[in-house]
Amino acid sequence: MPYLFTSESVSEGHPDKVADQISDAILDAMLAQDPDSRVACETMVTTGLVVVAGEVTTKAYVDIPGVVRKTIAQIGYTKAEYQFEAESCGVINALHSQSPDIAQGVDEREGKEQGAGDQGMMFGYATRETPEFMPMALAFSHRLVKELARIRKEEPELMPYLRPDAKAQVTIEYSDDNQPVVVDTIVVSTQHDDFIKPDYAAHPDTAQGRAAAVAEADEKILSKIKKDIIEKVIPSVIPQTMLSSRTKYHINPTGKFVIGGPHGDAGLTGRKIIVDTYGGKGAHGGGAFSGKDSSKVDRSAAYAARHIAKNMVAAGLCDEVLVQVAYAIGVAQPVSLTVNTYGTAKVDMKDGQIASKIKELFDMRPRAIVERLGLKNPIFSESAAYGHMGREAAAKEVGLEYVRVRENGTGEKEEVRRKEKKSVEFFTWEKLDYVDKIKAAFGL
**pLDDT digit string (tens) for 174-189?**
999 999 999 999 999 9
Torsion of CA 280, 281, 286, 287, to 10 degrees: -110
Residues 99 and 156 both lie in one domain:
no
The residue from 17, 142, 281, 299 that is catalytic is 17
Task: Say whether 193 is catalytic.
Answer: no
151 pLDDT above the threshold of 90: yes
Residues 242 and 346 both lie in one domain:
no
Task: Say whether 266 is catalytic.
Answer: yes
Q: Give domain status of residue 114, yes or no.
A: no
Task: Say whether 437 is catalytic.
Answer: no
Residues 219 and 171 both lie in one domain:
yes
Cα–Cα nearest to 418, from 34, 63, 62, 38: 34
- Is 257 annotated to bind a ligand? Reply is yes
- Is 385 annotated to bind a ligand? Reply is no
Question: pLDDT tens digits for 19-69?
Answer: 999 999 999 999 999 999 999 999 999 999 999 999 999 988 999 999 999
Task: Say whether 257 is catalytic.
Answer: yes
Residues 90 and 142 both lie in one domain:
no
Question: pLDDT tens digits for 319-360?
Answer: 999 999 999 988 889 999 999 999 999 999 999 999 999 999
Residues 229 and 305 both lie in one domain:
no
Query: Do the bridges between strand 120-127 and strand 320-327 make them parallel or antiparallel, or are there none, so unpaired?
Result: antiparallel
- Is 419 annotated to bind a ligand? Reply is no
Q: Considering the chain, what percentage of its residues have pLDDT values greater than 90?
A: 79
289 pLDDT above the threshold of 60: yes
Q: Give domain status of residue 70, yes or no.
A: yes
Q: Looking at the 3D structure of the chain, how many domains does it have?
A: 3
- Is 166 annotated to bind a ligand? Reply is yes
Residues 100 and 146 both lie in one domain:
no
The residue from 142, 152, 192, 272 that is catalytic is 272
The residue from 12, 184, 228, 298 that is catalytic is 298
At 413, the pLDDT band (50, 70, 90 cuts) reads low
Task: Say whether 272 is catalytic.
Answer: yes
The residue from 42, 276, 293, 320 that is catalytic is 42
CATH number of the domain residue 183 falls in? 3.30.300.10
Q: Give domain status of residue 372, yes or no.
A: yes
Q: Give domain status of residue 24, yes or no.
A: yes
Residues 425 and 302 both lie in one domain:
yes
Average pLDDT across the chain, whole number? 92
Task: Say whether 376 is catalytic.
Answer: no
- Is 167 annotated to bind a ligand? Reply is yes
Residues 199 and 322 both lie in one domain:
no
At 269, the pLDDT band (50, 70, 90 cuts) reads very high
Residues 100 and 185 both lie in one domain:
no
pLDDT for the residue 56? 96
- Is 296 annotated to bind a ligand? Reply is yes
- Is 348 annotated to bind a ligand? Reply is no
Task: Say whether 391 is catalytic.
Answer: no
The residue from 69, 296, 310, 372 that is catalytic is 296
CA distance 157 to 160: 5
205 exposure class (CB count in 10 Å sphere: 0-12, 13-18, 19+): exposed
Task: Say whether 298 is catalytic.
Answer: yes
Question: pLDDT tens digits for 352-397?
Answer: 999 999 999 999 999 999 999 999 999 999 999 999 999 999 998 8
Task: Say whether 296 is catalytic.
Answer: yes
Residues 431 and 285 both lie in one domain:
yes
Q: Which domain holds residue 255?
A: 3-10+136-259
Distances (CA, A) of 419 to 134, 136, 151, 399: 38, 42, 35, 7
pLDDT for the residue 201? 86
Task: Say whether 271 is catalytic.
Answer: yes
